[in-house]
Amino acid sequence: MTDNAISIKNLVKNFDDEVTAVDNLNLEVKKGETFGFLGPNGAGKTTTINILCGLLKPTSGTVCVGGYDVTKNLKKVKELIGVCPQEAAVFKYLSGRENIELFGNLHKMSKKDLKERADMLIEKMNLTKASNRKAKGYSGGMIRSLNLIIALINSPDIAFLDEPTVGQDARARRETWKFIGDLKTQNKTTILTTHYIEEAEALSDRVGIIDFGKLIALGTPKELREKYNAKNLEDVFLKITGRRILEGI
Ligand SMILES: Nc1ncnc2c1ncn2[C@@H]1O[C@H](COP(=O)(O)OP(=O)(O)OP(=O)(O)O)[C@@H](O)[C@H]1O
């Protein structure tokens, strides 16, 4: 892998010739970095993540993940990444553990590794009691936790976590934060999208603030606060755009 886990050059994504969801985005994320993509609803965060994971094709521009061009070498990229999508991606009539095993088997993990890692992740995400129950009875927050375990079951080098804490209560959110902090200590790269300011602020080494598909600010939370003489990232967004990130949510 190169020093950059992610490299995005002149990325544009239009939908139906009407909506420009990503508007000439340039960005590099270093290996081992926890990078927070912060922006209001509809800013283009999920579209960017989906392009990086190969789920959507760019209109123009190039995206490289782990040194591989996503449009040319998706197979290699898939070996490096784990994705926790915004929408629940679990089988409701399987138990939490069966879901995890299913995805572990897709990654061709050995039975022993899969069991050990599943046990560890289930405990960390506080799903031990629920793990043998069918996922259809899980709360939204529990589904998020399960999605996160599935995304990380094969210890990917690069994790894409799209709004991982939406719907989680304070306790589950703390578990998730801790979990994301652990990824950093393992030198994994994490790309996190969120519209929770305190989440971006607490977890990210650097933050990219995105609005109408454009990157309007980039730096460590401290750098951005100092640059804009702002008390937090919400204030940074307000000073740049005159709007609040959470407006309309
Ligand atoms: N499949 C699609 N077809 C048409 N427009 C789309 C499609 N997907 C996204 N868009 C539009 O692209 C823009 C960016 O959406 P995107 O979901 O990337 O934003 P987001 O920052 O992830 O928002 P949220 O925080 O609400 O998830 C929005 O205007 C959205 O309506």
* Domain boundaries along the sequence of the chain: 4-87+158-241
Give pLDDT, residue 247: 59
Q: What is the pLDDT of residues 208-218, one digit of tens each?
A: 999 999 999 99
Strands of the chain (E only): list them. Answer: 4-15, 19-30, 34-38, 60-65, 68-69, 81-84, 158-162, 189-194, 206-211, 214-219
Query: 248: pLDDT confidence band, cut at 50, 70 and 90?
Result: very low
Question: What is the Å distance from ligand 1's center to 82 Cα?
Answer: 21
The best mutation among 13, 14, 37, 47 to test binding of ligand 1, ranked by most ligand atoms within 8 Å of the C-beta, falls on 47
Q: Whose CA is nearest to atom 18 of ligand 1?
A: 44
Question: Average pLDDT for residues 153-178, to the nearest whole number?
Answer: 88
Question: What is the Å distance from ligand 1's center to 146 Cα?
Answer: 24
Pick the atom of ligand 1 nearest to 16's CA.
4
- Ligand 1-lining residues (CB < 6 angstroms): 15-16, 19, 21, 39, 41-47, 86, 195
Question: What is the Å distance from ligand 1's center to 16 Cα?
Answer: 12
The best mutation among 11, 13, 46, 216 to test binding of ligand 1, ranked by most ligand atoms within 8 Å of the C-beta, falls on 46
* CB-based burial, 14-32: b 16+ in 10 Å, e otherwise: eeeeeebbbbebebbbebb
Contact 122, 149 (CB under 8 A): yes
Helix H or strand E segment including 48:
helix 45-52
Measured distance CA(237)–CA(210) in Å, rounded: 9
Interface predicted TM-score (ipTM): 0.97
Phi/psi zone of residue 205: left (φ > 0), alpha (ψ -120 to 50 degrees), beta?
A: alpha
Question: Average pLDDT for residues 60-77, to the nearest whole number?
Answer: 95
| Residue at token pair 């993540």 | 49
Strand arrangement of the beta sheet that strand 68-69 belongs to: 19-30, 4-15, 60-65, 68-69
Give pLDDT, residue 222: 95
Q: Is 11 helix (H, G, I), strand (E, B) or coil?
A: strand
Assign domain 4-87+158-241 one CATH number from 3.40.50.620, 3.30.830.10, 3.40.50.300, 3.30.460.10.
3.40.50.300
What one-letter code names the amino acid at 224? L
Give pLDDT, residue 2: 65
Q: Whose CA is nearest to atom 8 of ligand 1?
A: 47
Its pTM stands at 0.90
* CA atoms 27, 30, 36, 42: torsion sign: positive
